[in-house]
Amino acid sequence: MFFAYCFILFSFVTIKIFSKDTTEARTNEVLVESIYNQEFVGKILLVKDRFNKNDLKDFNLRQLSEAISLLPGVYVRDYGGLGGIKTISLRGFSAVNTAILLDGEKINNQQNGIFDLNLLPLPFVDEIEIIRGGISSIIGNNSDAGVINISFRKATNHKMALGFGSFGTLNLKTVIPLQFSNNSNTTIGISYQKSNGDYPIKANLFGDDIIYRRQNSRYKNFSLFLNNENKVIFGLFSIKFLYSNSKRGVPGPILTNYFENLNASLEDQFLWGNFLFKPYILKDSNLKISLSLTNLKNLFNDPDGIGVILKKEKAQFVNREARITVSYNNYFLNTNYEVGKEFTFSDLQGDFLQPSIGSYVKRLSFSPFLRAQSLFSIGSTTLILFTATRFDITNTFPNFFSYSLGLAVNFNKNLPNIRLNFSDNFRFPTFNEMYYLNYGNEDLKPEATKSFNLSLEHNSFDFLHTSISLFHYYTQNKIISVPKNPVQWTAKNLGLVNSTGAEIHLRLESKWFSLMSSFTYQKVMNKSSNSLNYGKTVVYTPEVISESAVNVKLPFESYLILKGSYISSRFSLPDNSSTSKLNPYFIFNIGLSKDLKLAGFKLNFNFEISNLFDESYQIILNYPMPGRMILFNTSVEY
C-alpha cells in the first residue's frame, strides 16, 4: 500500500512542475448525443467516467479487463492467466449486478448473469464508459450496481498488430475500415489470441513448498466483429455483429497435495447481433426500433470430475436471448421525454438442470418505461432534473416497479459540479441460481436494491479533472451461495447487505505526461439480523482499491509508461475466519513505447514488463496469478 500511495504522490508533485495552461483535458460531459439506445444512459445524473481509444494506446492497455480496472469502483475478479475467466465487481457487488453493454445493448447472459471480458478483444473497442449507481429504471435486470458501456470501433485507417510474450502468448489483430458511399461506414475487426498459460506458481506437496508450472491453462480465442452505420433518406440504421470462440483448459484450484485437473476443458461460442433503425418522422423527435439477438454455447468436458460423480463427461448449455426495444423521444418546454417498451425472451437448454424442469427453461418479460430530463439556467448556473420509471412484468416473478430521481447543479468554472441520484433497483435470479442441478433453488426471490449517490466534479485547471463520489446501497434478498453439506452448496436469499464507500478519480493532461488515478474505499457488510455472519465483510470484497497509470513523454516520440495497482486484503469465506484471509498485493508494470512515421505509415513499438517485482498473489483463493511477464507488441496503421 505504501508503494501505491508514493506512486500517486509522485504524480501530484510533478503536476506543479510540468503542467501547462493550454492543455486540453478529457472531461465528463452532461449531455451525450447518440443514435444508440444508450441516449438516455449517457444523460442520467450518475457518476460517469470514460476511456477512449487514445487512452488505451497511451497507457499501453492490452485487455478489456485491464482497461476497466483503472476506473474507480472496479475490481476485476480474475481466475489467472490470459485464459482465466475475468468478470467485474463494481462497488463490492457481484458480476451479475453490473450490466455490460455493447453500444447500449445489454449482453449479460441469463444463464449465469455475467459476461466474460475475455470474449471481447480490446482492439474492437472505441470507448469504454462506466456509470456507477443503480440504473434498473433504464437498463432493467443486472444493473443495480451500475453499467459498463463499450462502444465498437469506428475505424478510419487500416490497423494491424502483432504481439508476443512470456508463456507462449501470441496476439494477431487487424481492423479494416470500408466505405461504400458517403452515407455509409463499415468497420471489420479480426483477432486471434493464444497462450500456453504455463506460468510458474508455488504449490505445497506433502508439506514442502515447490515451484511448479501451471498445467492445462492453455487458451485460444478467435473473434470477429462488424460495425456498420448507414444514413438514408428516411432515417438511420446500423448493423452490428460480434462472434467470439474461446477454447481453454480448466486446471482448477491449487490445493495441498493436489495440483490441478489435467483433462478438463471449456469451449465458449458467443454470437451477438443488433439491428437499430431510427426513422425521420417529426421534427425534434426520434423513434427508435432495436432488435438484439444473442446465442451463447458452452461445452464443458471434465472426465475426472463430473464424469466420476454424474457418469457423464460432457455438459452442454445453450442460452439464447432476443430483445426488441421501441422508444419515442420528444423535446418540449426545456424537457426531453422518452417513452417506450422492451420485450425480452430468454431460454436455456442443457445438461445438469433440476429434474423438475427437465432440460429446458424459458423466461419472458415485458417492460414499459418513461423517462424525462429538464434543464434550467439561472445566471451562470445550470440545473438538470431527471426521472425515470420502468415496470418489469415476467412469467416467473412478481412484477417490479423501479425508478430513479436525479439532480445536477453545474456552476461556473470556479466551483465543482454536483450530481445527486436516488434509485430503486432489482435483479432477477439467473437460470443457474434457480435450476442448476444440486445447486439451484426455485424458491429464490429477486434482489431489491436502493441506491444513493453524491458526486462532486471539478476542472481545477484546464489540464486537471477531479471527482469525488459517495455511495450507499441497501440490498434485500441478496443471493449468495451457502453450504448444504460438506460437499454441496446451494443458492439462497440473504436478508440484507449494505455497501457504503467513497471514490476519488483524477485525470491530468500536461505537456510532459498524462495521468489517470483512482482510489476506492468501500465497506460491504452482511447486515442480516438473523445471520451468524452479521457484521462480516462479504466475500472477495477489498476495502481499498488503488489504481494509477502515467505516460511520460520522452524525446523522439517515445514514452515511458508506469502502472501501479494496490488491492487490500479480502476474505474467501462469509465468516471472515483468519484462515480465509487473502493477503493484500501491489502490482507494478513498466513499459516503453515508440511511435514512428514512415512513408505514410504510422508504426508503434512497445515493450512491457508486467508484475515487475514478481509479486505472488491470488484474486480468487487457490487460483494463483502469473508472476513477472515480458510482452512485446508492434502495430502499423495506414
pLDDT classification of 218: cutoffs 50, 70, 90: very high
Burial class (CB in 10 A: 0-12, 13-18, 19+), 556: exposed
**Best CA proximity match to 590, nearest among 9, 76, 7:** 7
Cα torsion 425, 431, 432, 437: sign: positive
pLDDT, mean of residues 610-624: 91
Q: Which comes out higher in pLDDT, residue 225 or 62?
A: 225
Total structural domains in the chain? 1
pLDDT, mean of residues 14-40: 35
Tell me the pLDDT tens digit for each residue of 43-93.
Answer: 566 777 888 888 888 888 888 888 999 989 999 998 888 888 899 999 999
**Best CA proximity match to 457, nearest among 501, 499, 422, 408:** 408
d(CA 233, CA 416) in angstroms, rounded, equals 43
- pTM, whole model, 2 decimals? 0.88
**Best CA proximity match to 421, nearest among 50, 133, 5, 226:** 133
pLDDT, mean of residues 93-97: 93
pLDDT, mean of residues 303-324: 80
Domain with residue 108: its CATH number is 2.40.170.20
User: The cell 451477438 sits on which residue?
Assistant: 272
Longest dimension (CA), the chain: 76
d(CA 187, CA 102) in angstroms, rounded, equals 15
Residue 303 reports pLDDT greater than 60? yes
Q: pLDDT exceeding 90 applies to what percent of the chain?
A: 54
Residue 392 reports pLDDT greater than 90? yes
Q: pLDDT exceeding 70 applies to what percent of the chain?
A: 89
Q: Nine-digit cell at 334?
A: 426545456
Mean pLDDT of the chain: 86
Least confident of 264-268, 310-314, 318-322, 389-393: 310-314
d(CA 325, CA 332) in angstroms, rounded, equals 23
Least confident of 18-22, 255-259, 557-561: 18-22
Tell me the pLDDT tens digit for each residue of 142-157.
Answer: 999 999 999 988 888 8
pLDDT, mean of residues 408-416: 81
Q: Nine-digit cell at 126?
A: 472505441
Residue 449 reports pLDDT greater than 80? yes
CB atoms within 10 A of CB 482: 11
pLDDT, mean of residues 628-637: 92
Residue 176 reports pLDDT greater than 50? yes
Full domain range(s) for residue 439: 2-637
Residue 569 reports pLDDT greater than 60? yes
Least confident of 337-341, 343-347, 487-491, 611-615: 487-491
pLDDT classification of 9: cutoffs 50, 70, 90: very low
CB atoms within 10 A of CB 77: 18
Burial state string for 135-169 with b = 16 or more CB within 10 A and e = fewer than 16 = bbbbbbbbbbbbbbbbbbbebeeebbbebebbbeb
pLDDT classification of 29: cutoffs 50, 70, 90: very low
CB atoms within 10 A of CB 547: 25
Find residue 573's DSSP bridge partners. Answer: none
Residue 105 confidence (pLDDT): 92
Residue 37 confidence (pLDDT): 41
Residue 329 reports pLDDT greater than 70? yes
